[in-house]
Structures are given as structure tokens and as C-alpha cells.
Amino acid sequence: MPRQITLKHVAAKAGVRPETVSKVINGKAQVSPETEARIRQAIRELEYRPNLTARSLRTRQSRMIGYSWRPVPADQFNPILDKFLQSMVEAAGHFGYHILPFPCPPDHVQVEAYQEMVDTNRVDGFILSSTNVDDQRIAYLQKIQFPFVAFGRANEDWDFPYIDVDGTAGLRAATEHLLSLGHRRIAAIAWPEDSHTGTLRLQGYREAMVAADLPIDPAWITRGQHSAAFGWSATAGLLDLPTSRCPTAIVALSDLMAIGVMNAIQDRGLEVGRDVAVIGFDDVPMAQYLRPPLTTIRQPVWEIGQRAIAMLLQLLNGKPPTERHILIAPELVRRASSGEPGAEATA
């Protein structure tokens, strides 16, 4: 029968005290990166497995982090939140935690799902995404003072730990890029009015147009479902406008919607990037492989997942996060879909 590997074996191999190994595993150690790397290497080589059941009984911790998301229809995809989840799984696992994913129920029963998780001690904390104004989950977790970190913002007067992408700056940069190419009739395809994230992004488009002293035709802003199908139908309507009002460029609030935009343009026999410029938001993996490759706003999603877990672990260890409100600037990735303006771009 193989011997049972203990903390003492790991400590001896790494050249540290058993207490130090325990603190590293629990995310409470203040050691140098070199020491931590040496301990983790020893854990891997010895194939040490902590007794999580016994530890949970001692500490009353589940070592689980709850994460819910809104399921997307079978014919759609959300690679951004998929990548976010992968990043969190890796970051949490590094400190001996696991992610417990569960689908986000309809709005009227959201709090009940979270309350059940809390009451049954299934999780030590939560990571939230797809947040919105008056988010019931945030209000509930704040009320009971249960640890959580949000990927996204909510009401301006609510003080809770979050990390988010500056969508306003992203759409402003996208619109300014089109303006620099000479476009003046720029349309925006956006999410519904009740989307807080969508409203913040659309604000960047408005700011850039106002700064350029350009009027915004009401027909240039269309809001609807986050789907390629809506991107297609909204673009078809824009292309039916009279020539003097027809946009020469379109910004979409997501790459998924931008794909629908590009298909609608091409279905009219027009060329993306030459006849109508297109910019998306997200930089999903397939964006660079589209024809033409899609100019887009890149979100550092992997970094966000890592930092969200780090913030939550600080809370779970009884420490206030080093940064409580983190707003990350996205990056404009220029590709062929934004192209050069056509002859009518400055008309």
C-alpha cells in the first residue's frame, strides 16, 4: 500500500516548515514567488492531495466559489464568458478552491437560488457577471454581507467590489477610429435600453460624435437582442435609408452582432471595409479569421478572471481588497473590416 503523503513530506522537499505549506495552499502565505513556486512544484512531484473534507469540517469552509451566468440559446455563443470561467477555474485551483457553476435563473427567483447556496454552506463566496442596475443578487449579498466580487457594475451609489471593462472608452475609441478615416455617418447597433453595460458602451459612441460636432440621426441607433440575427436585421434597415442618411460605418456592441452586420452588408452585394466599415466589441477568437478580419475592441478577459479571484480570496481571508473598484481600459484592434472610407464617406 503506497504511503500517504503529508504536509511534512511536502515541507521537507521544499525546504520550508509545514505551516508555510499550509498557508500557501490556503492562500494566506506571505512568501516570495520563488518559495511559493518551490512549494507548488513539491506538491505536484509528490502528488500531494489535501484532505478537503477534514479541512472543511475544521474551518467550516467549502473551498467552493459560486458562479452563475445567463445561458445562451443553442444557436448562439458567448466565448467571452467562457474564457472568463476558464481563467477563474485556473486561478481558483491555484489556491485550492474550485468553481461551482450554476445557471442564472429568471430575475424573479435569482435571490432564492443564491440564498439556497448560502444557507446550505455550499460556497464560501460568489463571482457575479452580467450585472445590471438594481441587480437583486448584489442587493441581497450586500444585505447579508456575504463575500462576492462582480464582473460588471450596477447602481452608481452601490459600493461593492467589482472589476469591469471601460465600455464607454471602448466605443469612444472605435468611433474616433472611424472618424479619423473620414466617416461622418456612423451608426451604432446596441443592446436593449435595460442593459446597463450596453448603455455605458453606447455612451462612448455618443461622446465621440458630440466631440466631433456631428449630429446623430435617430435612425442610426438601433437597440435589440444580443444576436447575429438582430445585427443582420438592424443593418438591413440602415442600408434601406436614403443615400444622404445611409451610414458609411457601423459600430456594434459585440462581435456576435458585428458578424450579423457583416453578413447583411455582403448580402447586399457590398464590400465590408470598402463600402461600409464595421467595428465590433470583444475580440472573440474567430474575429481574426472572418472575411475580412474584424476590427474590434479587445477585452482582457483572462486578466479579469484572474484578478476577480484574487479580490475574492482577499475578502475570504478577512482582508479588504487592495483595489475595490477596478476599471480596465480595452484595446482597439485594427483589422480590415474598418478599411478606408469610400468616396461617399465625407459626403
127 and 43 within one domain: no
Q: What is the mean pLDDT of the chain?
A: 88
Same domain, residue pair 161 and 211 = no
Domain count, the chain: 3
In terms of domains, do 102 and 199 share one?
Answer: no
Indicate the residue type of 172: R
Domain identity same for 161 and 171: no
Q: Give residue-wise pLDDT tens across range 191-220.
A: 999 999 999 999 999 999 999 999 999 999
In this structure, the answer to whether residues 138 and 80 fall within a common structural domain is: yes
* 344 lies in some domain: no
One domain for residues 24 and 78: no
Q: By CB neighbour count within 10 A (0-12 exposed, 13-18 middle, 19+ buried), where does 229 fall? A: middle
Q: How far apart are the first and last CA of the chain?
A: 82
Condensed to tens digits (0 to 9), the pLDDT of residues 134-183 reads: 999 999 999 999 999 999 999 999 999 999 999 999 999 999 999 999 99
The domain in which residue 267 lies consists of: 167-298+332-338
Residue 59 domain flag: no
What is the C-alpha separation between 325 and 305, in angstroms, rounded?
15
Q: CATH number of the domain that 29 lies in? A: 1.10.260.40
Sequence letter at residue 235: T
105 and 190 both lie in a single domain? no
Question: Is 322 part of any domain?
Answer: yes
Give the phi and the psi of residue 342 in degrees, each rounded to 5: -80, -175
Across the range 114-125, mean pLDDT stands at 86
Contact 314, 322 (CB under 8 A): yes
Answer yes or no: is 346 within a domain: no
The string of pLDDT tens digits covering residues 256-303 is 999 999 999 999 999 999 999 999 999 999 999 999 999 999 999 999
Spatial CB neighbours of 90, under 8 Å, sequence gap ≥ 6: 305, 306
Q: Examine residue 95 and state whether it is found in any structural domain, yes or no.
A: yes
Residue 235 sits in a domain whose CATH number is: 3.40.50.2300
pTM exceeds 0.85, yes or no: no
115 within domain boundaries = yes
